[in-house]
Amino acid sequence: MKRFLSLVSLLQSLVALALVAGCLFAAQWQFNRGANQSATNKIIASNLNLPSLSMSDIANLDPVNNQWRKVTLQGSFSQDKQELVRNRYYEGKFGFEVLTLFKANNGENFWVDRGWVAAGPNAATPPVVEPVASGNLEITARIRSENLSRQLQGSFFVTRVSSEKPESIAKLQGVEANAYYLDLLGSPDGKVKPLTEIELPELSNGPHYAYGIQWLAFALLAIIGRFLLFRETKRLSLVKVEI
């Protein structure tokens, strides 16, 4: 017992407890991430098959519960309100995604992701972006709830140089817009088409549950390791006594 209560033994036990606590925390974190991803996948799978929302349906819209659902809007694109999103890849190629402001006829503003464009030959050459159709249009898009605030505060957009980066896409370029954005699908008359096809998300829970089980196994190993160390210490003390 004295051997077990020695300073070294107590420190070993504290280290083992800290490892177990850390592993349990990491396991719980991974399980929570898996549960959240599973809930999100169920929402997306349901929304992909629902009919398109109209402008009258999107007042006070919850973008998270309606993510990836189709919406049909009438209005016009602002030719002078555009942003290029950095570090986007399409079919393995580096480039940008193009956000253009859409002013709906009901007075609301939406940033619309028109798709991907290839980067220029060098950093000083801007990419070539096909102009969007002008005039009053009807477009169909998908609602995206991805939070871009972190990217907005960092080096997310390439066109802003000296002006302060906004904390939300709703304040981008000083425009009062919705806090979510839209992925362009096209228009019924064919006047508006996305620069590239918008890929649907892969509905997978990812490795979170497997990682959670892995962290639980690490916690068990820490407990077993401490027990074996204690048993070996006790055995050696008995051998010394016999000698």
Structure-token pair, residue 233: 């210490």
pLDDT-based confidence at 161, cuts 50/70/90?
very low
pLDDT the model gives residue 141: 96
Tell me the residue length of the chain.
243
pLDDT-based confidence at 122, cuts 50/70/90?
confident
| Class of residue 240 by CB neighbours under 10 A (exposed 0-12, middle 13-18, buried 19+) | exposed
List of long-range contacts for 204-209, beta carbons under 8 Å, 24+ apart: 204/41, 205/34, 205/37, 205/38, 205/41, 206/33, 206/34, 206/37, 208/30, 208/31, 208/33, 208/34, 208/37, 209/30, 209/31, 209/34
CA distance 66 to 62: 6
What rounded mean pLDDT belongs to the chain?
A: 83
CA distance 192 to 174: 26
Which residue, 240, 226, 173, is CA-closest to 4? 226
Q: Are 118 and 95 in contact (CB under 8 A)?
A: yes
Amino acid code (one letter) for 166 = P
Backbone angles phi, psi at 8, to 5 degrees: -60, -45
pLDDT the model gives residue 176: 87
Q: Which residues contact 80 (CB under 8 A, 6 or more apart)?
A: none
pLDDT the model gives residue 165: 53
Count of CB atoms within 10 A of residue 117's CB?
20
Give tens-digit pLDDT for 166-208.
556 777 888 888 889 999 999 988 889 999 988 888 888 889 9
Q: Are 196 and 90 in contact (CB under 8 A)?
A: yes
* pTM value > 0.85: no
Give tens-digit pLDDT for 32-70.
999 988 988 999 999 999 999 998 888 888 888 999 999
